[in-house]
């Protein structure tokens, strides 16, 4: 709770800093505030006694772990933003504060214990993101991204809210525990569960699939990701996606768990379509940013594995996968931002010959691509490994075989970057890498390799 | 156990480092007790406790021979590169050593997860070695190679995870997996998942299509690593994992595997006849040799397996010698087309003798290392089935024909303006050939110590698996 208050107050404080033209202080103050919030979050580890605030919020280890990842990722992304927002807009303080508001929404999303809090969290996050996507007011693509995101987002919120309402009609409560109890008692006593409830579950699944960009509700993702400023895209594809999955998992793996025979086939189909749609389309992209957008859809597919397999390790799986994916994506987006700033292009060809001129950047990008492709000794492999073993232990062998086919497909497009960097020569100037980029790249690479070699140091969420 | 780090200074450091690991291995061989069947020099720590993954490794007779092979061949390969100057040499040698450590993990791992990680860890460096320092078409060819092997190994990963999920404590420990008793149909699936991974690596027909392209486009050191050591990972995997883990699957599908291996022998030999390029010719001959090794293993008797062990060592030594010959010619004359060559022996007698010794080993002349291995292998296959033995035996005749034809076209005949100025071997080249020559003849004349190292382990493994199969049959 302290973390949430800190971040909300911080957002307002940052706005005032902007008002008094203290632009230099924005980044340090934000980072300091986030560090304090992170400290408060970690302090909550293992002190969970039960839901608080009239059972509205539940700060269990699950919430702490995911708050930890999202706050840390946000800090890394903001660290990259030094000098970035000044270039694309005059209203720098608004950036910081909107991102912070969005993060506040995310903290609610990962720790809700009541459907209303889920809705409020998602809305705080989404409304902030609509603004962030369109913050380059003069830019056509940015406007398109914002409008598209807003329309699609509004739709999905509608689905979600309708689902919540129907479930309330059937179970007479918004409380997760009460809804679960309702299901369990009805199943035990053999009473029929109202059809409203089933409809509600499906509608909520659709709404959540929209939010995490799972197929066939993913069509907004590539355009929004491409149109938004790159760092905002980084924020959306790492922090927001992680939070979406945390919320999704909490809802389905705990609250709707007794009904899993009903919704499992739905999620299974969504997973398979997501994997194939993301991967096969990513194969045909010539633009690095668009490739990342499509690959993020396929990663959503892998993360859905946790919801499909539901074992005791499910949240651990999403936890590790989210860290691995966030670290690798932050590296990829950092590389993208540098590339755009220096060459103005984000096609694969602009990476040609990078290996000779910028060995460090090329190395970090290579590690990131290997991790995204799930090659051993990187965090991405451990994430995939946990997902696969969960799915196999709940006997979804064919799902894993399909996932493996996708993992092989993904090697094609991830390796295009590596091939361009090392094996294709081009006349190019050395990119200048600012210190803050070096720090973020180094932290992410170390995290990726460390988790790849010794994943046991991550705390077990359950 | 020499799990190596990276070398920052180039050749010499790499050579010294690899010699150090060879010295450690030599000490291991001295302390090794060949009559004990359980793994020795082992260690066993928890690696990822919540997932039942251990860092468990150790060597028995089978592993020891493979470790010996790896740690002997890597210095030889590094020595063989001494006359080259690679751009960015530090990275090149670091990758070789990194790959060596991956392969050592594969050969010693006693935990399925560790085995898989080593398996992949060996693949990434060789991809970069081949794709960064390779010849024409290297990008396309190596991506094919990488994706091919990756697809195979991911199937294996599914099988490994599946097996671990069936064990009582969800353990990846090899003993826990050996102790499993699954129904025959499941074992059939497991068999194929492992078989495809190993067959791609070896490669066994029809999974070989990546191999000739990759061998011929890779830099010579890469080709040597691939053919000399890396393909043995597949063979070793069959012995250590495939057959003991899925004995019933093996009982049912082993015959198919032998047939595929034998088809591979004949097919690769026939293609080798028509090759005009020496590197590709050796690549196909390597497919034929490995086909025989794999047939000998799937025959699953002590002779066949002993033959496979010896032949793996011999093949590693011989094929490195052959590729080194190609490399020297390519380096001096800038061609590896057979039609451009001829009459080299006149100008470079030492080189011709060295080549001839290696060639004799490769075509299995009695008294050379190749003979011991192939003889035992054929005996193993013959025990399994007479006709299989006869067809597999063709490999010796075929091999003699295309290899001698290659020798004749390269070394004998009339010199042309290219080959007239051929310089004879010297320095490090000389050292490499002397080492290889000693082993070709040494193992050929007195193979007993090596065979003794692996005998107990192999006999035990054969008995264990055969008991498991028989229990079900009766």
How many residues appear in chain A?
Answer: 462
Total domain count for chain B? 1
pLDDT of A461: 54
Contact (CB<8Å) B155/A422: no
User: Residue B88's closest chain A neighbor by CA?
Assistant: A356
- Give the residue-averaged pLDDT of A385-390: 87
Q: What is the pLDDT of residues A420-430, one digit of tens each?
A: 888 877 777 77
Q: Is residue B188 part of a domain?
A: yes
Chain B residues with CB-CB distance to A459 below 8 A: none
Q: Nearest Cα to B239, choosing from B319, B183, B305, B185?
A: B305
User: Residue A370's closest chain B neighbor by CA?
Assistant: B124
Name the residue facing B50 among A422, A454, A460 (closest C-beta): A460
Per-residue pLDDT band at A460 (split at 50, 70, 90): low
Please tell me whether residue A321 adopts helix, strand or coil conformation: helix
- Give the residue-averaged pLDDT of A54-72: 89
Q: Nearest Cα to B235, choosing from B438, B427, B421, B454?
A: B454
Chain B residues with CB-CB distance to A408 below 8 A: 147, 150-151, 154
How many whole angstroms separate alpha carbon B352 and alpha carbon B349? Answer: 5
Q: Nearest Cα to A69, choosing from A96, A32, A97, A109?
A: A109
Q: Is residue B5 part of a domain?
A: no
Contact (CB<8Å) A393/B170: yes
Distance from CA of B126 to the nearest CA of A (A): 14
Select from A376, A393, A394 the residue whose CB has the most chain B CBs within 10 Å, as the one to mutate to test that interface.
A376
pLDDT of A205: 92
- Give the residue-averaged pLDDT of B410-438: 77
Identify whether B341 is preceded by a cis peptide bond (ω within 30 of 0).
Answer: no
Distance from CA of A241 to the nearest CA of B (A): 26
pLDDT of B7: 40
Chain A residues with CB-CB distance to B161 below 8 A: 385, 388-389, 392, 400
Q: Is residue B278 part of a domain?
A: yes
Q: Is residue B58 part of a domain?
A: yes
pLDDT reading at B6 higher than 60: no
Name the residue facing A455 among B48, B131, B147 (closest C-beta): B48
Chain B residues with CB-CB distance to A423 below 8 A: 131-132, 138-139
Q: Is residue B376 part of a domain?
A: yes
Asked if A352 and A424 touch (Cβ cutoff 8 Å), the reply is yes
Per-residue pLDDT band at B306 (split at 50, 70, 90): confident
Distance from CA of A381 to the nearest CA of B (A): 10
pLDDT reading at A221 higher than 70: yes
Q: Is residue A231 part of a domain?
A: yes
pLDDT of A102: 94
pLDDT of A203: 93
Q: Which residues of A touch B (CB under 8 A)?
A: 313, 316, 370, 375-377, 381, 385-386, 388-389, 392-393, 397, 400-401, 404, 407-408, 411-412, 415, 419, 422-424, 454-456, 460
Q: Is residue A385 part of a domain?
A: yes
DSSP-derived secondary structure for A164-209: HHHHHHHHS--BHHHHHHHHHHHHHHTPPPPHHHHHHHHHHHHHHH
Contact (CB<8Å) B117/A377: yes
- Give the residue-averaged pLDDT of B40-52: 76
H-helix or E-strand spanning residue B43: strand B40-48
Which residue has better confidence, A74 or B420?
Answer: A74
B179 touches chain A (CB under 8 A): no
Contact (CB<8Å) B154/A407: yes
Q: Nearest Cα to B305, choosing from B418, B163, B459?
A: B459
Within chain B, how many helices (H) and strands (E) appear? Answer: 20, 2
pTM (two decimals): 0.88
CB pairs under 8 A between A and B: 73
Q: Nearest Cα to B283, choosing from B218, B331, B349, B330?
A: B218
Chain B residues with CB-CB distance to A389 below 8 A: 51, 161, 164-165
Contact (CB<8Å) B158/A400: yes
Select from A348, A385, A458 the residue whose CB has the most chain B CBs within 10 Å, as the one to mutate to test that interface.
A385
Q: Is residue A17 part of a domain?
A: yes
**Domain enclosing residue B239, as ranges:** 11-473
pLDDT reading at B199 higher than 70: yes
pLDDT of B473: 56
Distance from CA of A388 to the nearest CA of B (A): 8
Sequence-ordered list of residues with C-beta below 8 angstroms from that of A415, at least 6 positions apart, any chain: A369, A373, B143, B146
**Domain enclosing residue A65, as ranges:** 2-457
Angle, to 10 degrees, between the axis of helix B61-80 and the axis of helix B302-333?
A: 10
Query: The tokens of B99 are what?
Result: 């790959």
Contact (CB<8Å) B165/A392: yes
Chain A residues with CB-CB distance to B139 below 8 A: 419, 423-424
Q: Is residue B416 part of a domain?
A: yes
ipTM of the complex as predicted: 0.86
pLDDT reading at A462 higher than 70: no
How many residues appear in chain B?
Answer: 474
Name the residue facing B158 among A377, A401, A422 (closest C-beta): A401
Q: Nearest Cα to A204, choosing from A115, A304, A317?
A: A115
Note the maximum CA span of chain B. 71
Distance from CA of A325 to the nearest CA of B (A): 20
B421 touches chain A (CB under 8 A): no
Select from A384, A407, A423 the residue whose CB has the most chain B CBs within 10 Å, as the one to mutate to test that interface.
A423
Sequence-ordered list of residues with C-beta below 8 angstroms from that of A420, at least 6 positions apart, any chain: A348, A349, A351, A352, A354
Total domain count for chain A? 1
- Give the residue-averaged pLDDT of B88-94: 78
H-helix or E-strand spanning residue A59: none
Asked if B418 and B340 touch (Cβ cutoff 8 Å), the reply is yes
Sequence-ordered list of residues with C-beta below 8 angstroms from that of B468, at least 6 positions apart, any chain: B247, B248
Lowest-confidence pick of A54-68, B132-146, B220-234: B132-146
Q: Is residue B468 part of a domain?
A: yes
A148: number of Cβ within 10 Å: 19
pLDDT of A311: 64
**Is residue A127 classed exposed, middle or buried when 0-12, 13-18 and 19+ CB atoms within 10 A define those classes?**
middle
Asked if B126 and B226 touch (Cβ cutoff 8 Å), the reply is yes
Contact (CB<8Å) B161/A407: no
B121 touches chain A (CB under 8 A): yes
Contact (CB<8Å) A389/B165: yes
List all residues of chain B from 91 to 120 with a beta carbon under 8 Å from chain A: 116-117, 120
- Give the residue-averaged pLDDT of A113-134: 92
Query: The tokens of A459 are what?
Result: 């705390």
Q: Is residue B3 part of a domain?
A: no
Chain B residues with CB-CB distance to A414 below 8 A: none
Asked if B450 and B65 touch (Cβ cutoff 8 Å), the reply is yes
Q: Is residue A462 part of a domain?
A: no
- Give the residue-averaged pLDDT of B334-362: 79
Query: The tokens of B254 are what?
Result: 């082993």
Distance from CA of A369 to the nearest CA of B (A): 13
User: Residue A456's closest chain B neighbor by CA?
Assistant: B48
- Give the residue-averaged pLDDT of A268-291: 89
């Amino acid at each position: 709770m302290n973390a949430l208050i800190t971040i909300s107050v911080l957002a307002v404080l940052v706005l005032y800093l902007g008002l008094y033209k203290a632009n230099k202080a924005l980044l340090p103050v934000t980072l300091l505030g986030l560090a304090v919030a992170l400290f408060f979050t970690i302090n909550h580890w293992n002190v969970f006694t039960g839901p608080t605030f009239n059972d509205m919020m539940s700060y269990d280890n699950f919430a702490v772990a995911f708050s930890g990842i999202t706050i840390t990722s946000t800090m890394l992304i903001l660290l990259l933003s030094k000098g970035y927002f000044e270039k694309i807009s005059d209203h720098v303080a608004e950036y910081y504060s909107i991102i912070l508001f969005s993060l506040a929404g995310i903290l609610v999303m990962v720790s809700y214990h009541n459907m209303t809090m889920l809705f409020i969290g998602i809305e705080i996050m989404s409304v902030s993101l609509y603004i962030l996507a369109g913050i380059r007011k003069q830019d056509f693509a940015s406007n398109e991204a914002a409008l598209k995101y807003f329309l699609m987002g509004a739709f999905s919120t509608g689905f979600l809210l309708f689902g919540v309402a129907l479930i309330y009609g059937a179970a007479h409560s918004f409380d997760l525990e009460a809804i679960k109890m309702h299901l369990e008692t009805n199943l035990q006593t053999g009473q029929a569960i109202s059809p409203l409830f089933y409809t509600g579950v499906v509608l909520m699944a659709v709404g959540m699939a929209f939010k995490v960009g799972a197929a066939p509700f993913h069509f907004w993702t590539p355009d929004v990701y491409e149109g938004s400023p790159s760092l905002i895209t980084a924020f959306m594809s790492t922090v927001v996606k992680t939070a979406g999955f945390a919320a999704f998992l909490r809802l389905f793996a705990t609250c709707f768990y007794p009904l899993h025979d009903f919704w499992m086939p739905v999620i299974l189909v969504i997973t398979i379509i997501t994997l194939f749609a993301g991967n096969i389309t990513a194969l045909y992209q010539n633009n690095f940013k668009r490739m990342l957008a499509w690959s993020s859809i396929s990663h959503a597919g892998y993360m859905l594995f946790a919801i499909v397999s539901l074992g005791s390790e499910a949240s651990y799986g999403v936890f590790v996968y989210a860290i691995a994916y966030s670290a690798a994506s932050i590296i990829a987006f950092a590389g993208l931002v540098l590339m755009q700033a220096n060459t103005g292009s984000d096609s694969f060809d602009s990476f040609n010959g990078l290996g000779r001129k910028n060995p460090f950047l090329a190395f970090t990008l290579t590690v990131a691509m290997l991790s995204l492709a799930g090659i051993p000794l990187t965090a991405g492999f451990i994430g995939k490994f946990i997902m696969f073993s969960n799915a196999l232990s709940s006997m979804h062998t064919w799902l894993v075989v399909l996932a493996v086919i996708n993992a092989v497909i993904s090697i094609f497009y991830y390796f295009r970057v590596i091939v361009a960097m090392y094996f294709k020569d081009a006349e190019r100037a050395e990119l200048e890498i600012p210190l803050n980029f070096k720090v973020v790249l180094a932290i992410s690479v170390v995290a990726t390799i460390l988790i790849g070699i010794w994943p046991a140091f991550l705390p077990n969420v359950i | 156990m020499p799990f190596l780090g990276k070398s920052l200074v180039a050749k010499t450091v790499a050579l010294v480092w690899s010699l150090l690991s060879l010295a450690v291995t030599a000490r291991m061989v001295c302390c090794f007790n060949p009559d004990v069947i359980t793994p020795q020099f082992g260690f066993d720590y928890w690696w990822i406790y919540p997932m039942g993954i251990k860092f468990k490794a150790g060597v028995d007779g089978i592993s020891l021979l493979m470790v010996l092979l790896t740690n002997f061949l890597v210095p030889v390969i590094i020595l063989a590169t001494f006359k080259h100057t690679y751009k960015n040499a530090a990275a090149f040698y670091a990758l070789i050593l990194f790959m060596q450590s991956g392969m050592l993990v594969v050969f010693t791992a006693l935990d399925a997860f560790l085995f898989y990680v080593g398996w992949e860890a060996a693949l990434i460096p060789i991809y970069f070695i081949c794709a960064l320092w390779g010849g024409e078409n290297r990008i396309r060819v190596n991506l094919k190679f990488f994706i091919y092997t990756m697809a195979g190994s991911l199937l294996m990963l599914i099988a490994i995870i599946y097996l671990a999920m069936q064990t009582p404590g969800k353990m990846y420990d090899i003993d826990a997996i050996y102790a499993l008793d699954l129904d025959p149909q499941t074992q059939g699936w497991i068999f194929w998942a492992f078989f495809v991974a190993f067959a791609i690596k070896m490669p066994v027909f029809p999974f070989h299509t990546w191999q000739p392209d990759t061998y011929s486009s890779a830099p010579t050191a890469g080709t040597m690593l691939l053919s000399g050591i890396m393909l043995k990972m597949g063979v070793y995997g069959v012995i250590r994992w495939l057959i003991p883990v899925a004995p019933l699957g093996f009982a049912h599908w082993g015959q198919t595997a032998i047939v595929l291996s034998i088809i591979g022998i004949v097919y690769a030999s026939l293609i080798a006849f028509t090759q005009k390029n020496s590197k590709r010719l050796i690549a196909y001959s390597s497919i034929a040799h490995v086909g025989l090794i794999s047939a000998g293993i799937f025959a699953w008797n002590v002779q066949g397996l002993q033959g496979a062990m010896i032949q793996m060592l011999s093949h590693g030594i011989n094929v490195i010698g052959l590729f080194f010959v190609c490399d020297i010619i390519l380096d001096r004359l800038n061609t590896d087309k057979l039609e451009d060559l001829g009459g080299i022996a006149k100008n470079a007698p030492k080189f011709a003798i060295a080549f001839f010794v290696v060639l004799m080993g490769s075509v299995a002349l009695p008294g050379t290392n190749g003979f011991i291995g192939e003889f035992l292998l054929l005996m193993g296959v013959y025990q399994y089935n007479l006709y299989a033995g006869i067809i597999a035996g063709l490999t010796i005749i075929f091999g003699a024909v295309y290899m001698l034809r290659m020798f004749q076209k390269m070394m004998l005949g009339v010199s042309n303006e290219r080959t007239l100025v051929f310089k004879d071997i010297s320095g490090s080249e000389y050292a490499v050939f002397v080492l290889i020559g000693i082993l070709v003849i040494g193992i050929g004349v007195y193979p007993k110590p090596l065979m003794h190292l692996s005998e107990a382990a192999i006999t035990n493994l054969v008995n264990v698996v055969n008991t498991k199969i028989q229990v079900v049959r009766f």
